Amino acid sequence: MREMRRPSAVLLVVAAVMVLISACGSSSGTAATTGPAGADLPAPTSEQVQKSWTVFALPSKPGASEQKVTFDASTLSTSDGCNTLTGPYTLGTDGAFKVGELAGTQKACDKPADTRHIDALKAATKVGLDDRSGYDQLVFTDSSGALVLVLQDVAGA
């Protein structure tokens, strides 16, 4: 007859940590929506998008960013930390999103350009509006549904 073993202390600690993580994940804070839930966000209207936003999260290329993106009815403008870039974008009523060709200034810059958010905007194919944390956030995903960028309303930052 086989002897029954008691669960090890390590397994109990792992189980407790998993319970805590799942409990923490269900609370709403100021963090942006991530994962599959991003696909369930409502599409923003053109009017909701038309303002200045600050880079909140760059999941595939993390790190602090001081960049902002400003949208008007059909054009966005941003900076790479030195040069200003401007170009068209389209926003569908279903949240479909596409950035056109961006044109920019050609200044000589002292520091390397920070184009992570620009690359993410170009990769984005869909955008949703997340206001559950008390802040307006634009959540951008690519064609596979992966989160590529989160912008937060400058007024709420």
Reported as a single tens digit per residue, the pLDDT across 31-52 is 444 444 566 899 999 999 999 9
Q: Which two tokens stand for residue 104?
A: 């920019």
CB 142 within 8 A of CB 123: yes
Mean pLDDT for the stretch of residues 73-79: 97
Q: Is the pLDDT of residue 3 over 80?
A: no
pLDDT of residue 13 exceeding 50, the answer is no
Residues 6+ apart with CB under 8 A from 95: 41, 42, 43, 44, 126, 127, 128
The domains of the chain, with CATH numbers, are 37-156 (2.40.128.270)
